Each structure stands twice: as structure tokens, then as C-alpha cells.
Amino acid sequence: MQDKLGNGCKPTAQDGQRRPLSRVVAVEDDPDIRAVVDLALGHVGGLAVTCCDGGRVALEVVPAIDPDLVLLDVMMPGMDGLETLTRLRLDPRNRLVRVVFMTARVQPHHRADYLARGALGVIAKPFDPLTLAQQLRQLHATVDLSRGSTG
């Protein structure tokens, strides 16, 4: 299967197979953290990374890139990560995109809220750049396609 950019399309739940994690959109407003995430996922993790500095940009980039996963900061000015996720889901092209939140707000009630909103998981800040890609791969591998989980 090919998408408009000539890349392999994500399989649906009916396909019964999962595309390996290769393309990530990272949404982070802090330029220093964004640079570390880019290095951690791209150079250390071997993933194709597209970075966005906020939710509004992500709303344009995500449907164009068709990533395997969106790594989304929660606390951002303007449009926070929670609103960004809500708006991403309003676009049918983003229905199956998997989202992992990255935040310092990781108390149990926060985590429960993120998961209830459809996040695949949560990465706590501060994070270890050497293991970030592996953490995302593990979360990506847990998607239960038999239930049609969308992240």
C-alpha cells in the first residue's frame, strides 16, 4: 500500500498487521527539549522525526506526514496537548494516529485522564534521551489491533 507521499500506508485493524514504528511527529514548544527529542529519536533511535513547535502546526503536519506515532507535549502555550489531541481526532485522516503524551504531569489521575482521552501512553519528563525511542517502540508494539485501538 502507498500513501500520497509514496510511503507505506498504516494497516487498518482488518489487515491484522502493524506497520513498524518509523515515522514520528514530535510536538514540543521548548526549543531545547525539541532538539533533544529530535536527536534522541532521529540519531540515536533511527526514526524519521518531524518536529513541530506547537499544536497548531501539528494539526497541519500530522495529516500530511501520516506518522506512525505523535509524541505530544501536554503543557504548551496557545493550544495545549490535550486540545491538540482533541482537534487531531476531529480530522478523519487522523483517526488512527497513535499519540503518546510527554509531560511532567504524571500523577496517577493525570495518566488516567490522558489514557481516557485516547493516548497510547505517557512518557515522563525529564526523560532519558538514550531510551526514548525504545520506550516509544514498546508503546507502539502494545497496540491491540484486534480491538481497533487508535492510540
Give the pLDDT confidence of 69-89 residue by residue, as tens digits: 999 999 999 999 999 999 999
Torsion over CA: 23, 138, 111, 34 (sign): negative
Give the pLDDT confidence of 23-50 residue by residue, as tens digits: 999 999 999 999 999 999 999 999 999 9
Residue at 9 is within a domain: no
Name which of 97, 108, 45 is nearest 72 in CA terms: 97
Number of domains the chain is built from: 1
Residue at 151 is within a domain: no
The answer to whether the predicted template modeling score (pTM) of the entire model surpasses 0.75 is yes
Joined together, the cell numbers standing for residue 11 give: 494497516
Residue at 147 is within a domain: no
Summary mean pLDDT of the chain: 87
CA gap 11, 100 in Å, rounded: 19
Q: What is the CATH number of the domain that holds 135?
A: 3.40.50.2300
| Higher pLDDT pick, 149 / 118 | 118
Residue at 146 is within a domain: no
CA gap 37, 8 in Å, rounded: 24
Q: Is the pLDDT at 8 greater than 50, yes or no?
A: no
Quote the domain boundaries for residue 78: 20-140
Residue at 76 is within a domain: yes
User: Residue 16's pLDDT is what?
Assistant: 44
